[in-house]
Structure 1
Amino acid sequence: MADGEYKPGLEGVPATRSNISFVDGQAGILEYRGIPIQELTAHSTFLETAYLLIFGELPKQSDLHSFEQAIRGHRRVKYRIRDMIKSFPESGHPMDALQTCVAGLGLFYPLQEMDPNYVFGTVTRLLSKLPTMVAMFHQMRQGNDPIPPDDSLDHSANFLYMLSGKKPDPWLARIFDTCLILHAEHTVNASTFALLVSASTLANPYSTLATAVGTLSGLLHGGANQEVMMMLRQIGSVENVRSFIEDKLAKKQRIMGLGHRVYKVKDPRAITLQRIAEELFERYGRDKYYDIAVEIERVCEELLGPKGIYPNVDFYSGLVYAKLGIPEDLFTPVFAIARAAGWLAHWREQLSDNRLFRPTQVYTGERHQRYIPLAERG
């Protein structure tokens, strides 16, 4: 890249050095701390994966136990956070509610010296309280009291319980845990970059996470899986797929859930999510929208494959979440619950060798203009 060359969206411009995750978009590889995502989804749990991402190594059994116990101990939120949620409009989007709640936590846990105890407390507090606040808003917007956490349940099972009031099938809880692992980290995406900029100012970590949550809420980032479900309903049947796709392409419109800034092959997370969807439908009944999604992938591979446009992580995740009974407008908050692990890893890494982000620009406006007095302006 030539010195000073402008790259829209900073595409291909390195913004930081990191050893947290690795992506090879041509080969379809995603690794967390060097471990392939396929191995983690097969053998790990979300909290173990979060520990790996944040602290840089797989934990010993005693360390993992302490980490899990700390997270269970932080699941409850201050009653003033509950009172704040009670005042939110029922029609508000859960991502706006979550961003407000995360920022509000900073009022109770002010920035302190960045010693290991403060970092550990911040990490475990945020990982535990995000699920509680998402479930709390969901219950309260329906006029219900929040369902208290059940400390006998693990991280994923407890969230599903707070959301529905029913203890989930352990197999379904494991499916959800796998989804959290898949969404936990993905290098310097838009929300992570926003977090890095905020962290570099030495802002309160809760404000920094709130910045990331707000960035994730955009339709071109975390909100795409909800848009995929809307698209599937709009298409309605397998027979309508080709005409829908061809019409979209003729109008040069995006097809939600397809294409990625990095991957030029099928997103490895989408491969795992499709397998999970197939297992879910085999056990709990087939969904016509899954058949529509498979046909979209087939048609788009024919029409867009040569351009390197394939399903990304959002394409099948909504189908899985819907089968788990998660409301569509909670898909992106669930993404945030998972991505908090990666965000906290980058927050910790940024502060280990911090430098304030201050990019430059390519100025395109006029210069040397005369000030025109108000009376002379036509």
Structure 2
Amino acid sequence: MGGTQKIDLYENFKSINSIDAEKYKRYDVKRGLRNADGTGVLAGLTGISNVHGYVMSDGEKRADEGELRLRGYDLYDLLGVDAKDRRFNYEEVSYLLLMGELPTEQQLSDYIATIDAQRELPDGFTASMIMRDTPPDIMNVLARTILLLYAYDENAEDRSVQHEISTAISLISRLPRIMVLTYYAIRARYNNESMIMHRFIPGQSTAETILSMLRPDRQFTPEEARMLDIMLCLHAEHGGGNNSSFTTHVLTSADTDAYSTYAAAIGSLKGRKHGGANHQVLAMQKEIKDNVVNWENDDEVAAYLAKIVNKQAYDKSGLVYGMGHAVYTLSDPRAVICKRFAEKLAIGTEFEAEFRLLEKIERLAPEVILNEKGTRKDMCANVDMYSGFVYSMLGIPEDLFTPLFACARMSGWAAHRFEEIVSGKRIIRPAYKSIYSKKRAYIPVDER
């Protein structure tokens, strides 16, 4: 941004916008909508999913094994972790989130066919909307294209059940295509690489479509497609309290259109404290790999983790990224499932040693934090500990990690929008207390 004028706001930005932390305590402000013990402020009710990570007993928060239930069904049961006859689950999970019940074979077949029929984009959309003035971040393009698709919908302001469901399904279908096309458009514009524009293949699952469009030779194994399908399921929904789902509730409560709502959710997910956190995990893991000579040596790995905890390494924040979660304490079921499938894919390949290193980081991190800080905290690996590793095994570039999250979460966002439309009834408007308790006298400009 240009301009040579001197503006005091640049110099005084921090002082102008600072509020004494003591005031937050005095007025019992729930910063981040969090209670003092770290639990979330109860802001609503939902029948979509339940994220369980601890129990409250006699007013105390106690650690517990993590559970994620979608519409009452345990995630482990939905994914059929050990079932060899199941290849793809994302479409079934998506149906469950939107429709509230598991589909029959015919209902699932019809739903898959409906998704398949919606993948086509409007004529000229790729050239005029995706390849034109393409910004360097895929998430921004996803948000922009959703907003632009509003213009191609003659009934964009329709709030009927039929239109809400059809809009959601069209975006669930189209976002994976838009994501891959955008990836290559960015590579072509900024890296002078070839613009690969594979057509989607009718009849392929969402996971297969992504791999088929992404890979230049269009080839992938059933195991790779199954692994990506699992990743889509793990990211499809995670309660109403996460930032992007809450964003969906907030915008829906204002009675704005579906396209504006989903674009805003993507803007939230892009945040480095939300969906973008996986980049921090991958970067930290890379630093550990580069600086630990013997990955099999516990002492060497623990020593470098100690440097990270003591703010001497990586980003000097003292955080071990990939460990800990706002809700989960003893285990994150998404991480457990992700790890289990990742191990199957890694064993016997060049990735096995790296997988064992991540296992070691997961095991040693709580011990290192206890030894270095003297505090014991219930801490488990979260899904980001292994998700980036899985994507790397699949040859998926890092630029697509968060966009893949967005493609998967479209189903969850849609479910939360539907629930807010039917049950919310009131615009979400929390209170903010002004720190100016007394009126300030106005001073004419020539007297200041």
Same fold (TM over 0.5): yes
* Residue in structure 2 matching 1:16, options 40, 44, 59: 44
Distance 1:328 1:136 in 2: 15
> Quick check: 1:7 aligned with 2:36?
no
The answer (yes or no) to whether the contact 2:305–2:368 under 8 Å persists in 1 is: no
The answer (yes or no) to whether the contact 1:321–1:331 under 8 Å persists in 2 is: yes
Distance 1:250 1:304, change over 3 A: closer
SS at match of 2:120: coil
SS at match of 2:347: helix
* Residue in structure 2 matching 1:113, options 150, 158, 163: 158
Distance 2:122 2:50 in 1: 37
Tell me the residue number matched to 1:58. Answer: 102
Tell me the residue number matched to 2:118. Answer: 74
Amino acid paired to 2:215? S
SS at match of 1:141: helix
Tell me the residue number matched to 2:201. Answer: 150
Distance 2:367 2:328 in 1: 17
Displacement of 1:131 after TM fit?
Answer: 0.2
- TM-score, reference length from structure 1: 0.93
Distance 1:261 1:367 in 2: 38
> Quick check: 1:355 aligned with 2:415?
no
Tell me the residue number matched to 1:373. Answer: 444
CA displacement 1:125-151 (0-9 Å, x = unmatched): 010011010011112223314211111
Distance 1:242 1:168, change over 3 A: same
CA displacement 1:302-327 (0-9 Å, x = unmatched): 13473122211111100001111110
The answer (yes or no) to whether the contact 1:139–1:147 under 8 Å persists in 2 is: no
* Residue in structure 2 matching 1:342, options 375, 396, 412: 412
Tell me the residue number matched to 2:69. Answer: 31
Distance 1:367 1:315 in 2: 50
CA displacement 1:309-365 (0-9 Å, x = unmatched): 221111110000111111011100001111111101001111012321111113223
Tell me the residue number matched to 1:139. Answer: 184
Distance 2:187 2:310 in 1: 42
RMSD value over aligned CA atoms? 2.0
The answer (yes or no) to whether the contact 1:112–1:118 under 8 Å persists in 2 is: no
Amino acid paired to 1:170? P
Distance 2:348 2:304 in 1: 30
Amino acid paired to 1:132? R
The answer (yes or no) to whether the contact 1:228–1:256 under 8 Å persists in 2 is: yes
Residue segments in structure 1 that go unaligned for 5+ positions in a row: none
Amino acid paired to 1:34? G
Displacement of 1:273 after TM fit?
Answer: 0.8
CA displacement 1:51-108 (0-9 Å, x = unmatched): 1011100112222122111111111212443122112346x11111111112221221
Amino acid paired to 2:161? P
Displacement of 1:366 after TM fit?
Answer: 4.8
Alignment of 1:89-108 (within 5 A): 89=134, 92-108=136-152
Displacement of 1:283 after TM fit?
Answer: 5.1
The answer (yes or no) to whether the contact 1:20–1:53 under 8 Å persists in 2 is: yes
Greater share of helix residues, 1 or 2? 1
Alignment of 1:1-378 (within 5 A): 5-11=28-34, 12-26=40-54, 27-42=65-80, 45-82=89-126, 83-89=128-134, 92-109=136-153, 110-143=155-188, 144-165=195-216, 166-187=218-239, 188-236=241-289, 237=292, 238=295, 241-251=301-311, 253-282=318-347, 284-304=349-369, 306-353=376-423, 354-377=425-448
Amino acid paired to 2:41? V
Matched-pair identity in %: 33
SS at match of 1:25: strand
Residue segments in structure 2 that go unaligned for 5+ positions in a row: 1-24, 35-39, 55-64, 81-85, 189-194, 312-316, 371-375
Distance 1:352 1:304 in 2: 45
Distance 2:213 2:274 in 1: 26
SS at match of 2:430: coil
Higher relative contact order (CA 8 A, sep 6+): 1
The answer (yes or no) to whether the contact 2:92–2:108 under 8 Å persists in 1 is: yes
Distance 2:309 2:117 in 1: 51
Displacement of 1:163 after TM fit?
Answer: 1.0
SS at match of 1:168: coil
Distance 1:224 1:287, change over 3 A: farther
Displacement of 1:47 after TM fit?
Answer: 0.7
SS at match of 1:245: helix
The answer (yes or no) to whether the contact 2:164–2:258 under 8 Å persists in 1 is: no
- Which has the higher Rg, Structure 1 or Structure 2? 2
Distance 1:115 1:61, change over 3 A: farther
